[in-house]
Amino acid sequence: MQQKKIVIGIVAGEASGDLLGSHLIEALKDARPDIHFVGIGGPRMQSAGMNVLFPMEKLAVRGYVEVLRHYREIVGIRRKLRTYFLDNRPDLFIGVDAPDFNLDLELALKQRGIPTVHYVSPSIWAWRGERINKIKRAVTHMLALFPHEPKLYREAGVPVDYVGHPLADMLPDYPKRAEMRETMRIPLSAKVFAFLPGSRQSEVKQLAHTYIETAKLVLQQIPDARFLVPLVSRETRGIFEQALYDCDAEQLPITLLFGHAQDAMVAADGVLVASGTATLECALLKRPMVITYRMPALSWWLMKRKSYQPYYGLPNILCERFIVPELMQEDATPENLTQALLNLVNDKEAVAQLEETFHELHRTLRQNTAQKAAAAILPYLPA
């Protein structure tokens, strides 16, 4: 008699989730080659062998206003997915981050007897802490990436495992900066800045002009400065190229890269980075950074009302203090960003202290994440 195949439903909503999901799929397949994965994921998860039902880009929107604009389409996808999983019941469902999308789906599936794992704790410690009640109803098991999170779930009675962050497993303790400069044909003596405006089109639209004007001001003080701008897609590259044209800045020493964000950070003396997972990458690559963000005013106002902490960037949140500058929303002016960047990169003692702090953070987060996550998931699967 042929053995029934094991099926896991899985949904990731953006590039960072695609990376997490792909490593998890590979770790689970190493342990159980008979597992099949189906749901929503990006190119990495697809390459790892999952069957993608809807393109991940449809879910990659951020902020209240942006979500409202795409609300009907997103809800329609979730409804179709719920119907699909109830008609073709998986043995387990894994929601990779994207809590606003995944928790409702997890709730519906768990109520029908399908175990649900949520991979990446929603930031209930930072804002919207009331979500713990919904999580308790929707999630069979939580996988937390950061060491301060499990206590919150244990207190609420939600099974949880701390699995560390996969970036800490992937990234080297000591990035090879000289080799990266050589590969990029950039002299070691050059002053290089990596400007990361985010992975979403909405983020690049909000920040592109500000980044370009900041580059102009940096050049006034460092005439031989160079700028590396990694962009994740043709769409985001097109948005940034249009902003260069609009700002009459096509002659600036800016090199647009297709991806290669980590390479740009390794090569850089200083990094200007949109708040998000890239700030953690930058910390694990031991580079000094200034964190910034802009979103529509209404989205910002609503988010601030529900926030519990004075910081937004992951390095500051994890260290529970301002170790790097944050300039958000109306404070994110070219003048302020330029001053913060130059203050940081010109202070060698501050940069050295920052590097040591980032090394400590790296050691804490390196936990062999994908294997730990897989080990927590396997007991929920049929033998």
Express each pLDDT in 278-303 by its tens digit: 999 999 999 999 999 988 777 777 67
Domain of residue 66: give its range.
Answer: 6-164+367-380
Lowest average pLDDT, out of 139-153, 208-222, 291-305, goes to 291-305
- Biggest CA–CA distance in the chain, Å, is 75
Lowest average pLDDT, out of 54-58, 197-201, 325-329, goes to 54-58
Residues 237 and 348 in one domain: yes
Task: Identify any residues that bridge with 181 across adjacent strands, giving them in sequence order.
Answer: none
Question: 37, 120 in Cβ contact below 8 A?
Answer: no
Question: 70, 200 in Cβ contact below 8 A?
Answer: no
Quick check: is 324 in a domain? yes
Residues 194 and 60 in one domain: no
Mean pLDDT of 138-158: 95
Q: What is the CATH number of the domain that holds 346?
A: 3.40.50.2000
Mean pLDDT of 179-201: 94
Mean pLDDT of the chain: 91
pLDDT for position 64: 46
pLDDT for position 209: 96
Lowest average pLDDT, out of 52-61, 275-284, 325-334, goes to 52-61
pLDDT tens digits along 54-76 = 888 766 555 544 555 666 778 88
Mean pLDDT of 318-343: 95
Residues 152 and 52 in one domain: yes
Mean pLDDT of 248-267: 95
Quick check: is 27 in a domain? yes
The total domain count for the chain is 2
Position 372 pLDDT exceeds 90: yes
Alpha helices (H) in the chain, listed in sequence order: 15-31, 43-47, 64-69, 71-87, 99-111, 131-138, 150-156, 166-170, 177-183, 201-221, 234-246, 261-267, 277-284, 297-305, 314-319, 334-345, 348-365, 369-377
CB atoms within 10 A of CB 46: 17
Mean pLDDT of 8-32: 93
Quick check: is 261 in a domain? yes
Quick check: is 172 in a domain? no
Question: What tokens does 213 get?
Answer: 């004007």
pLDDT for position 57: 72
- Give the HSE-up count for residue 28: Cα atoms under 13 Å, Cβ half-sphere: 29
